[in-house]
A and B are shown apart, each in its own frame.
Chain A
Amino acid sequence: MAEDSFLTDDFLRQLINVGEVDILVGLPTHNNAKTVGAIVNAIENGILRGFPRERAVIINADGGSRDGTPELVTGISIDDVRRVSNPYALRTLHSISTKSGNNSASGSALRTILAAAELLRAKACVVMSPKSVNIEPEWVSKFLRPIYNDGFDLVTPTYRRHRFEGLLITNLLYPMTRALYGLRIREPYSPEFGFSGRFGCQFLGQNAWNDGSDGASVELRLTLAAITGKCRICQSFLGEKEHIERSPADLVPALRQTAGTLFSALGPDFPVWSQVTGSLTAPTTGADHEVLLDPLRVNRKRLREMFSTGVAELESVFQSILSADTLAELQRIARVGEEEFHYPAELWVRTVYEFASSYQKSVISRDHIIQALAPLFRGRAFTFLMENRNASGEKVENNIEDLCLEFERLKPYLLQLWKSGE
């Protein structure tokens, strides 16, 4: 019982009543009453259809909901689901809810789920997002089968996404993770993923849970830990990604969760990523990815304006972070008109690598470095939108692939920057 100190007595008692399980489904929640009912139904359906003979439990780690989310999770009758999906299911399906922290941060919730998985000796586990509105019962099997049957340690999802959705993933997180760690994982930071009990225990023991970050971006840290720990990783195609809320204004927190976490991992992971050249494809079940081309309202003008304003106003900050050449080039493109504006891939990659290196050297406050990246990302997003406004799905993918190759090509530049700071 490595984690008995932070689990409540009541929760431990409930876990003891459950006993050992084969499958564990974790559901971190925080005021998700609108969606959680359908999600729990889908999960129960998925378990009864896909794993009727396995011992299974649903663990709801709630961050202090005030809308009755935990009661909804535990109150859903399994018999209704059983009648519809599989009347011949042999096992009892347990559903437990516990309080983990007092906020929506996923770190403490995931820690609770991992600790429960360790205590119950679960063989295969899956964490589902409480915000996914289009969750299907098959998702449970898609995450668990590769672990339960094929011995994989981590299953990350791939989605059918709009070509302009997740620009931070496609323009920074995926290409940089791929170039540095050498594995092509399309969604390294996803609220839904599956993992083996063995890897869960390993990560629970390794991860710094009390480092003051409140467990932020623990999903990304989990993916990076699986890569550096040479675990078996695969991807599973889920279908369309649809979340209850879009958050267009949350760029800075999103940068903290993605770029901030990735940059901070580069220091301890240096012995691993500095040896990697090129990248390998992760095994994938179903399609690798799919692109939706529906029209989407985007205020492009505002993106470019915020880029130009940022470059002009933050000159003193950029002087501490960027090289003189990169800054001069950014200032040049910030002055050109909307039609001629182009933030080339090479310049973007150099910018990101110089930010990563400055983050490592802590040239200024690390959080300020991440905040300073926001206006530059808007400039890159503008170029990406312009390049792909009339592009087919294949063309969009080719452009993303070109960017990834640029990240891989310029990796020696990052190594050079890194070594110059040592």
Chain B
Amino acid sequence: MREMIISELNQALHDIARGFAHFLPRFIVMLILVFASWVIARVVKAVLRSILRVIKFDKLSENAGASQLLTKAALPSATELLSRFVFWVTWLGFILLGVRVLGILGMEEQIARFFLFLPRLFGALFILFFGLLAASFFSRAALLAAVNANVPSPRVLSLALRGIIIVFVLSIAFEELGLAEQTMLVAFGIAFGALMLGLAIAFGMGGRDLAKRFLEKKFVREKKEENEDELSPL
């Protein structure tokens, strides 16, 4: 009996030792991978930061209106934020590869899903950034055109356009991520419909005079003012 216990214990210790002997090299490989990937991620971060500075990414972000949002949220600049994001994604990717080396059951599928999710995450970020850029550009273009055409309430027009574009961009970005697709679709439909209905009511009822003045200016003024004003800039 005693011998059996000792034998089993020896066997168990032997198995543990063998398992440990199998695990240790993998663990060391993982540690090496983690360390090497940390170096790689740091290099990628430094290179990316330099590239973003050269192409004046902060300026683009400022134009897109993203910088203002970041400042309000007490976050670092867009260049710094993107560099850090890429650093963590790179490092995390390598860590997961390292974990995969350990051969832990059930992890492989999760890791594969993570890597499949990465392109969608980048796609969504890309859409979001350029969407914000487009929203800023078109809202400013609308504001300038409205001011120069003497259209009443130009800022409201500009903000409405900006709002519509941002909601639209957010819905596409969420769809790309595969998050709450139905919710976003419904939310977009409700928001867009509400905005259009609001504008229709505002012009039709609340802003009857405004709409009247607008239409008068649009269709009646031209002839009248040509007669009033003979200034030629050139």
**Residues of chain A having any CB pair with chain B under 8 Å:** 164-169, 189, 243, 246-252, 254-255, 257-258, 296-299, 302, 306, 309-310, 313-314, 317, 364-365, 368, 371-372, 374-375, 377, 381
Name the A residues within 8 Å of B145 (CB-CB): 371
Whether A167 touches B229, Cβ cut-off 8 Å, given contacts A317-B144, A371-B145, is no
Any A CB within 8 A of the CB of B143 = yes
Bound: A202/B63 CA distance, A: 40
Interface residue count on the B side (C-beta < 8 Å): 23
Can you sample 7 A-B contacts with CB below 8 Å? Answer: A243-B232, A248-B233, A250-B233, A257-B234, A296-B230, A297-B229, A372-B144
Q: B80-88, B89-97, B203-211, B220-228: which one contacts chain A?
A: B220-228
Q: Which residue of B lies closest to A364 (CB)?
A: B63
Any A CB within 8 A of the CB of B16 = no
Instruction: Name, among A247, A249, A251, A297, the residue most crowded by chain B CB atoms within 10 Å (CB to CB).
Output: A249
Report the tally of A-B residue pairs with Cβ distances under 8 A.
89
Does the CB pair B229–A302 fall under 8 Å? yes
Any A CB within 8 A of the CB of B154 = yes
Contact of A368 among B144, B150, B222 (CB under 8 A): B144
Interface residue ranges of B139-177 to A (CB < 8 Å): 140-141, 143-145, 147-148, 150, 154-155
Question: Could you tell me the distance in whole angstroms from the C-beta of A142 to the nearest C-beta in chain B?
Answer: 21
Instruction: Name, among B63, B145, B232, B233, the residue most crowded by chain A CB atoms within 10 Å (CB to CB).
Output: B233
Contact of B144 among A250, A298, A314 (CB under 8 A): A314
Does the CB pair A169–B148 fall under 8 Å? no
Does the CB pair A254–B233 fall under 8 Å? yes
Name the B residues within 8 Å of A365 (CB-CB): 137, 140-141
Does the CB pair A297–B148 fall under 8 Å? no
Question: Could you tell me the distance in whole angstroms from the C-beta of A330 to the nearest C-beta in chain B?
Answer: 14
Q: Which residue of A lies closest to B226 (CB)?
A: A248
Does the CB pair A317–B229 fall under 8 Å? no
Bound: A384/B164 CA distance, A: 41
Q: Hey, what's the 0/1 contact readout for B191-229 against A, CB within 8 Å counting as 1?
A: 000000000000000000000000000000010011111
Any A CB within 8 A of the CB of B73 = no
Q: Which residue of B lies closest to A296 (CB)?
A: B230
Interface residue ranges of B64-106 to A (CB < 8 Å): none
Any A CB within 8 A of the CB of B5 = no
Bound: A293/B75 CA distance, A: 61
Any A CB within 8 A of the CB of B54 = no
Does the CB pair A251–B233 fall under 8 Å? yes
Any A CB within 8 A of the CB of B231 = yes
Whether A317 touches B227, Cβ cut-off 8 Å, given contacts A168-B233, A252-B148, is no
Contact of A313 among B147, B222, B232, B234 (CB under 8 A): B147
Does the CB pair A299–B232 fall under 8 Å? no
Bound: A296/B229 CA distance, A: 8
Does the CB pair B229–A298 fall under 8 Å? yes
Interface residue ranges of B104-141 to A (CB < 8 Å): 137, 140-141
Contact of B230 among A166, A298, A310, A375 (CB under 8 A): A298
Does the CB pair A317–B234 fall under 8 Å? no
Bound: A167/B137 CA distance, A: 30
Bound: A329/B154 CA distance, A: 23
Does the CB pair A189–B234 fall under 8 Å? yes
Does the CB pair A248–B232 fall under 8 Å? yes
Bound: A332/B155 CA distance, A: 20
Q: Which residue of B lies closest to A372 (CB)?
A: B144
Contact of A309 among B150, B222, B228 (CB under 8 A): B150
Whether A166 touches B229, Cβ cut-off 8 Å, given contacts A252-B148, A368-B140, A368-B144, is no
List 9 tightest A-B contacts by C-beta distance, closest first.
A168-B233, A371-B144, A254-B233, A299-B229, A246-B232, A299-B228, A248-B229, A374-B148, A310-B147
Q: Which residue of B lies closest to A371 (CB)?
A: B144
Bound: A297/B228 CA distance, A: 6
Question: Could you tell me the distance in whole angstroms from the C-beta of A105 to the nearest C-beta in chain B?
Answer: 15
Name the A residues within 8 Å of B148 (CB-CB): 251-252, 310, 371, 374-375
Q: Which residue of A lies closest to B144 (CB)?
A: A371
Does the CB pair B225–A299 fall under 8 Å? yes
Does the CB pair B227–A375 fall under 8 Å? no
Does the CB pair A296–B231 fall under 8 Å? yes
Instruction: Name, among B137, B228, B231, the residue most crowded by chain A CB atoms within 10 Å (CB to CB).
Output: B231
Q: Hey, what's the 0/1 contact readout for B173-191 against A, CB within 8 Å counting as 1?
A: 0000000000000000000
